[in-house]
Amino acid sequence: MSNGASTLYDVVIVGAGVSGNLIAKQLGLAGKKVLILEAGLPVPDSREEYMNNFYLALAKTPESPYPALAGRTGSQQNPVGVLPDPSKLPTPRATVLSIGKAPDVSYLVQAQPWIETHDPKLPPQNPPPDANGNIRGLQFSSTFERNGGGTSWHWLGTSLRELENDIQLQTKYGHGVDWPITYPELQQLWALAEKEIGVAASTAEQEPLEVVGLVYPTGYQYPMQSIPMSTVDDAVSKGIAGLQVPGTLPDTPGGSDPTMYNVFVTPTPQGRNSEPYDDRRVCAGNTNCIPICPIQAKWDPTVTLGKALDTGNVTVSYQSVAYNVAVDGTNATRIDYYVWSRDANGNLTKVSKSVTGKIYVLAAHAIENAKLLLMSNNWNGIANSSDQVGRNLMDHPLYLSWALAPEPLFGYRGPLATSGIESLRDGEFRKYRSSFRMEIGNEGWNFSKGDPYTTALDYIQGTNNTGTNDGGPNGAPQRLAGVQLAEKLNNILTRQFRIGCMFDQSPMAENRVTLDVTNGKPNNVDGLGLPRPKVEYGLDPYTMEGFRMAAYVCSQVYQKMGAKEFTTTGMGSAGDFTYRGVNYHYYGAGHVVGTHRMGNESGSSVVDASQRSHDVPNLWIVGSGSFPTVCTANPTLTLMALAFKSADSIIAALGS
Amino acid sequence: MSTNPSTPSEATLQAFADMSAALTGFQSSFIRPFLDPVNLSGTFYSFAVSQVGQPRMDALLAAFNNLNNQTPKPTPQQIADTLLETSLDAPSLQAQLCQSIVAMWYLGSWYTPGVLGGNGFAPPALQVITSQAYTKSLVWNLAQAHPMGFSPFVFGYWSQQPASLQTFGVDTGNGGGQ
């Protein structure tokens, strides 16, 4: 069915991820004929192969289970093994292992090269602020997948709703832009998404968050009971009882918010089963939601894809990379795509095909959607009269801090995160600095330090890479053996925990995705000869002031608990920056948004509230790329909610 | 001692397992269980020999047997401290091999002897030895937990205190830690 020339589909969707699969399912249920073009490999019959990839991966990064694999055998010179060359791959993607690297291993072409020293003893090489206080030339650090099921194979499962003030930031606080959709409508759409995912939560447990404006329609109940809080959550929750912090720190640019805000822990609504749901098992606490749930207790887009296929109206064409959306006059008329395969010798071959439909939906990921729009019409772009395609690229830049609790709190158990501090997500301070949520990790110092590996080797070898091994004479590191080694590691590992803070980063027109093309010629291509996305990224003072506040709040949390903080910054690697003389480090959250922003005005936005192109009326451009701002909740629930709205609008546009 | 790495003798394998138990602080039943279809100790022995050569392994096991046969018999902790040379400023090549063997059991991966980490993270491993080396790696027991991605526990266990460290296999109170 991949040769669509003879079949007229009602709708052709690019991308078998969260949005594409959900829209396909809704259309299939309505009796519409749908073709999904998925760039990557099919969803495997069993996830055993992906699990084995994960077990054998030297670096257990989010991408580690998924093709194309990085080499597994390392060396001193090349500790993560050989990374694949994106110019040889049909569907290269951004990976953690290639962040900050040159285009020979990094699919994303970063506008500014990064000087990696990996040596905290050297002075930071961080770029200086410009005249407006913005720091430009940073590396975009979020990654994504290009295989059947998409990036949400490795979503965390966090299913928080946005706050009412998240979507009216401009009206309420004079910053950023508003969303073109009302909160009551979003509440209805979230309920649909929560049912599709199977979100485990209790509205009663969320009630304390009324202080930040989180309210549910009367009588609303989540599909299943909440996930129990972990022993880590419990220790933090009890340890910070009574903690308050001000809205802003002294000398915050622009103004101050001296209000004292309560800091408290609430359980997180999660897309993992607390009871059997949709023929899937309950969570067994594998502590591996990222990169892969071994038992699919966590919802992922392949669940919804299965339901879409069950309608009998949906077909998927795998290994099909869309490269042109043809527009004749105003309407889209066809999608051109390459079907790729590898011969017996592993050589890549491609065949060009075209497919027509009445309506086209781009659901390929925020960066890939922008790339496809810009590639179309002979790389002159479509649906871009606003000049906003690719702009306002945002992430939830993530500030990570970590500490040792005074007593064991037993991390490395349960889902990766089961609770957070959501009580600081809204307040008058949003006039002056970015807001953030705080995610409490259940995985010790795995994210922070690559533990338990780093701590174990510290005490086996007598090094101090973690900062904890200073118990020898004059603070020298210890080398331990046998039961003493085992008990020491037990003492350290059971007291480790971390907090990740994710910021409502400002939209900035100059943070953008473009094609890596000069004078009509690509500088770097993929294995199909298509140009690669080039990314320009930076942070503004509003966002960075949030980092300053987050570092303060985390330290207050640790102090109140009697925990000892070990956070380090300035690692000589991509993600370092200096703000007001202090070094920070941001990680990518994988929450890539903003590249085809939605709005009511066609002059300043790419799509409307139903994610329909302002310029091309039979084209929908869907996913987190439509978010006008990144807000304070993890984006998957909301991007799925928006997909429900899009599906309804597509069905209406098709007529009966 | 056997000189053929592909077919080590039973005595060699038992010596390797006994030494591994002392070095890691784990009970023998966690290192070489009576019923042992996975045979990690055999896999690890062969892998280490393939990396450092038979003579170095033979010499190490000879040193272990020599210690283990002393009268009075040293405790596992004394054997571990002696072989890992914890009282010396710098470990010998033989002690570095012992470190790699401990790392193999704890982390399921091979770390080339003597290669130290730096700049805040662990040294690079050469490879994860096998999938089962990962899913049975013992450092997770030291966290009273399970390998990430391989939980034998059931829904909600994370809201309860874990079982004791001894239950997780550490030889606490049995000649260790003295």
Q: Do B80 and A485 touch (CB under 8 A)?
A: yes
DSSP per-residue letters across A486-550: HHHHHHHHTTEEEEEEEE-PPP-TTSEEEESEETTEESSB-TTSPBPEEEEEEE-HHHHHHHHHH
Instruction: Tell me how close the Cα of A460 comes to any Cα of chain B, in angstroms.
Output: 6
- Tell me which chain A residue has its CA closest to the CA of residue B132: A55
Instruction: Give chain B positions within 8 Å (CB) of A292.
Output: 149
- Region for residue B164 given its phi and psi (left: phi exceeds 0; alpha: psi -120 to 50; beta: otherwise): beta
Tokens of B134: 């990962």
A493, B99: Cβ pair inside 8 Å? no
Count of residues making up chain B:
178
Helix (H) or strand (E) holding A11, with range, is strand A9-14
The pLDDT-based confidence of A165 (bands split at 50, 70, 90) is very high
CB A559 within 8 A of CB A450: no
Closest by Cβ to B124, choosing from A74, A452, A489: A74
Percent pLDDT > 90 in chain B is: 87
Q: Quick one: pLDDT at residue A1? A: 41
Would an 8 Å CB–CB cutoff place B117 in contact with chain A? Answer: yes
User: In the predicted model, what is the mean pLDDT of residues B18-25?
Assistant: 98
Q: How far is B54 from chain A (nearest CA, A)?
A: 22
Helix A301-310 vs helix A18-29: crossing angle, to nearest 10: 20
Q: What is the reported pLDDT for A125? A: 75
Cβ of residue A454 closer than 8 Å to a chain B Cβ: yes
Q: Are A473 and A465 in contact (CB under 8 A)?
A: no
Question: For residues A183 and A169, what is the distance between their CA atoms, to the nearest angstrom?
Answer: 13
Residue B8 distance to chain A (closest CA, Å): 25
Residue A75 has pLDDT above 70, yes or no: no
- The chain A residue lying nearest B153, using CA atoms, is A284
Share of chain A above pLDDT 90, in %: 91
How many CB atoms are closer than 10 A to CB A597?
A: 25
- Which A-chain residues 54-113 have CB contacts (< 8 A) with chain B? 54-58, 60, 72-76, 78-80
Tell me the chain A residues in contact with residue B103 when contact means C-beta distances shorter than 8 Å.
456-457, 460
Test B120 with A465 for CB contact under 8 angstroms. Answer: yes
Q: Which of A294-308, A506-520, A562-576 has the lowest mean pLDDT?
A: A562-576
pLDDT of residue A76: 58
Nearest CB to B84 within list A52, A444, A481: A481
Position A214, amino acid: L
Least confident of A114-128, A163-177, A416-430: A114-128
User: Do A64 and A50 contact (CB within 8 A), yes or no?
Assistant: no
Is A457 in CB contact (< 8 Å) with chain B? yes
pLDDT at A126: 84
Q: Is the pLDDT of residue B34 over 80?
A: yes
CA quadruple B144, B146, B151, B156: dihedral sign? positive
Contact B120 A283 (CB under 8 A): no
Interface touch B128/A490, C-beta < 8 Å: no
Q: Work out the minimum CA distance from A487 to partner chain B, whole angstroms.
A: 7
A208 touches chain B (CB under 8 A): no
Residue of A nearest to B135 (CA): A55
Please tell me if residue B26 touches chain A, with a CB cutoff of 8 Å. yes
A460/B22 Cβ within 8 A? no
B167 at interface of A, judged by CB pairs closer than 8 A = no
The stretch A46-69 carries a mean pLDDT of 93
pLDDT bracket for residue A572 (50, 70, 90): confident
Which pLDDT score is estimated for A79?
60
Residues 240-299 of A with CB under 8 A from B: 274, 282-288, 292, 294
Instruction: Please give, rounded to a whole number of angstroms, the shortest distance from the CA of A636 to a CA of chain B.
Output: 22
User: Do A75 and B126 make contact, defined as CB atoms within 8 angstroms?
Assistant: yes
Report pLDDT for A6: 47
CA distance B159 to chain A (A): 4
Is some CB atom of chain B closer than 8 A to the CB atom of A118? yes
**Lowest-pLDDT range of A67-76, A127-136, A295-304, A335-344:** A67-76
Give the type of residue at A244. Q
- Helix (H) / strand (E) containing B6: none
User: Would you call A450 and B122 a contact, using CB atoms and an 8 Å cutoff?
Assistant: yes
Cβ pair A287:B146 closer than 8 A? yes
Q: Most A CBs within 10 Å: which of B142, B144, B157, B178, as the mutation test of the A interface?
A: B142
Minimum-distance CB partner of A283 among B91, B116, B155: B155
In the three-class reduction of DSSP (H, G, I as helix; E, B as strand; rest coil), residue A37 is classed as strand
Q: Point out the residue among B77, B116, B157 whose CB comes nearest to the CB of A285.
A: B157
Q: Would an 8 Å CB–CB cutoff place A490 in contact with chain B?
A: yes
Q: Between the CA atoms of A113, A118, A119 and A124, what dihedral angle is there, to the nearest 10 degrees?
A: 30
Quickly state the pLDDT bin for A4 (edges 50, 70, 90).
very low
* B83 or A101, higher pLDDT: B83
Residues of A in contact with B149 (CB under 8 A): 51, 54-55, 286-288, 292, 294
Assess A481–B contact: CB distance below 8 Å, yes or no: yes
Query: Which of A413, A375, A334, A390 shows the shortest CA–CA distance to A616?
Result: A334
Chain B residues in contact with A457 by the CB 8 A cut-off are 103, 107, 111, 117, 122-123
Above 50 in pLDDT, residue A556? yes
- Whether A288 and B128 lie within 8 Å, measured CB to CB: no
Paired strand residues for A536: A512
Looking at per-residue pLDDT, the higher value among A124 and B157 belongs to B157
Q: With contacts defined as CB-CB under 8 Å, which chain A residues touch B116?
A: 461, 463
How far apart CA A14 and CA A579 sit, in angstroms, is 40
Tokens of A344: 């017996």
Q: Do B144 and A568 touch (CB under 8 A)?
A: no
pLDDT over 60 (residue B1): no
Which of A122, A483, A583, A585 best tests the B interface by mutation, with the highest count of B CBs <10 A? A483
pLDDT of A100 reads 86
Task: Report how far residue B25's alpha carbon sits from residue B155's, in angstroms, rounded to the nearest whole number.
Answer: 30
B86 reaches A (C-beta below 8 A): yes
Report chain A's mean pLDDT, rounded to a whole number.
95
CB contacts < 8 A (A, B): 239
Mean pLDDT in chain B? 93
Measured distance CA(A137)–CA(A371) in Å, rounded? 20
Task: Indicate if the pLDDT at residue A184 is higher than 80.
Answer: yes
CA distance A205 to chain B (A): 16
* A481: closest CA of chain B, how far (Å): 5
Nearest Cα residue in chain B from A229: B159
Tokens of A496: 């480790």
**What gap in Å lies between CA A222 and CA A194, rounded to an integer?**
7
Helix (H, G, I), strand (E, B) or coil at B107: helix
Which of B80, B134, B153 has the CB atom closest to A285's CB atom?
A: B153
Q: What is the pLDDT of residues A521-547, one digit of tens each?
A: 999 999 999 999 999 999 999 999 999
Backbone φ and ψ for A84, nearest 5 degrees, come out as -70, 150
Bridge-partner residues for A224, per DSSP? A200
Contact B122/A at CB under 8 A: yes
pLDDT at B175: 42
Q: Mean pLDDT, to the nearest integer, of B96-108?
A: 98
Please say if the pLDDT value at position A114 is more than 80.
no
Q: Has residue A71 got a pLDDT over 70?
A: no
A483 in reach of chain B (CB within 8 A): yes
Least Cα separation, residue B56 to chain A (angstroms): 19
What is the average pLDDT across A95-114? 90
Considering only the C-alpha atoms of chain A, give the largest distance between any 2 of them, rounded to a whole number of Å.
81
Mutate to test the interface with A, among B153, B158, B167, B170 (most CBs of A within 10 A): B158
The predicted model gives A329-347 an average pLDDT of 95
| pTM metric for this prediction | 0.96
How would you classify residue A202: left for phi > 0, otherwise alpha for psi between -120 and 50, otherwise beta?
beta
The amino acid present at A209, given as its one-letter code, is: L
> Which positions in chain B touch A493 (Cβ < 8 Å)?
139, 142-143
